[in-house]
Amino acid sequence: MNFELPVDPTIIEALEKNLWALWRRFGLGSGCSLHEDEGATWFETPIGHLPYNGVLRFRSDEASAEIDQQIDAVFDHFGRRDVPFFWLVHPTALPTDLDRRLEARGLVEVESFPGMVVALDAVPQAVGDAPQGIEIREVTDPKDRDSILELIAWRWDVPQEARGLLPDVSSDFDVGQPGSSIRCWLAWKDGKPVSKVVLNITGEVCGIYGVATRPEARGLGLAREMTLLACQAARGAGSRLCVLHSTEMALNLYRKIGFREQNAIFRLFCRPGSLHM
């Protein structure tokens, strides 16, 4: 059964703005660049591997030829660097045929992410007891950043020669700092991080990101438990609505927590074979 709610512009705005607020930070890291104006947001980093260069937002109602020039400028920029990049077609993206224009330039849709939301007062409490042999704790010490980056490098199959750049590229993600709007929970097994969840708080709206579990720790309910912990923390911080952008595989997990799909699909485009999902 598909639980879709009517389209609500405020929900669409929450889904888009929370995502942009988190991902634009890649353009603010050491050695990185954020390109942002009224119609677009895109970033680049020294890592020539996806998802470390990409377009997050694009809205242009100019004449068709001018739109093509704007799109070509981004393609030309990354082409000069000879690095792969992604283009996220979000629900309010313009022009409405943006997908066709990207495909005409060689990009393909590699994944789509249904936007989902839940009112935080409807989310059940976390169980609080980790499975045997597992320790779950929030990252409160910046020293644990290396453990987060270790999981991220595994998740995105970051080449070994580029992994040394991750601390600088991620330097604007101030996880573990007092008062940070970004929080993270890690699950540990035998002293090794095996699962993570990231929470991005933007006032009354929060977002769940980066849910990933290593194969040896799957089937233990870690993603559910840590998502519940993150929602619980967000509610305590004053947030009222939680958003996320789910893979098809994880839809049932989030439905059981209380999240419901919206008529808001986020579509990811890149060169064929350039993204490890």
What was the pLDDT predicted at 129? 79
Which DSSP string do the residues of 73-106 spell out, in sequence order? Answer: HHHHHHHHHT---EEEE-TT-BSTTHHHHHHHTT
What was the pLDDT predicted at 204? 97
Q: Mean pLDDT throughout 117-132? A: 90
Do 71 and 144 share a domain, yes or no? no
* Percentage of the chain modeled with pLDDT above 70: 97
Which DSSP string do the residues of 156-204 spell out, in sequence order? Answer: TT--GGGGGGHHHHTTT--TTSTT-SEEEEEEEETTEEEEEEEEEEETT
Residue 41 lies in a domain: yes
Task: Report strand pairing: 205-213 vs 241-245.
Answer: parallel
Please report which confidence band the pLDDT of residue 65 belongs to, taking 50, 70 and 90 as the band edges: confident
AA identity, residue 168: D
Do 123 and 257 share a domain, yes or no? yes
Please give the tally of structural domains in the chain: 2
In our burial notation (b when 16+ CB lie closer than 10 A, e otherwise), range 49-76 reads bbbbbbbbbbebeeeeeebbeebeebbe
Please report which confidence band the pLDDT of residue 216 belongs to, taking 50, 70 and 90 as the band edges: very high
- How many residues in total does the chain contain? 277
Residues 37-47 pLDDT 10s:
999 999 999 99
Mean pLDDT, rounded, of the chain: 94
Q: Does position 276 have pLDDT exceeding 80, yes or no?
A: no
Do 106 and 28 share a domain, yes or no? yes
Do 125 and 234 share a domain, yes or no? yes
Residue 247 lies in a domain: yes
Do 227 and 92 share a domain, yes or no? no
Q: Which of 90, 115, 140 is the last residue of a domain?
A: 115
Residues 189-210 pLDDT 10s:
999 999 999 999 999 999 999 9
Decide: 4 and 117 in contact? Cβ < 8 Å: no
The CA distance from 76 to 119, in Å, is: 42
What was the pLDDT predicted at 58? 98
Q: Mean pLDDT throughout 116-132? A: 91
Q: Does position 108 have pLDDT exceeding 60, yes or no?
A: yes
Do 63 and 108 share a domain, yes or no? yes
Do 106 and 123 share a domain, yes or no? no
The CA distance from 72 to 44, in Å, is: 16
The CA distance from 273 to 137, in Å, is: 36
Q: What's the gap between Cα 146 and its chain centre?
A: 19
Residues 157-175 pLDDT 10s:
999 999 999 999 999 999 9
What was the pLDDT predicted at 218? 95
Do 172 and 101 share a domain, yes or no? no
* Percentage of the chain modeled with pLDDT above 90: 87
Would residue 106 be called left, alpha or beta, if left means φ above 0 and alpha means ψ between -120 and 50 degrees? left
What was the pLDDT predicted at 273? 87
Decide: 171 and 189 in contact? Cβ < 8 Å: no
Do 160 and 247 share a domain, yes or no? yes
What was the pLDDT predicted at 4? 46
Residue 34 lies in a domain: yes
Q: Which domain holds residue 75?
A: 9-115
What was the pLDDT predicted at 3? 40
What was the pLDDT predicted at 6? 53
Q: Which of 80, 115, 150 is the last residue of a domain?
A: 115
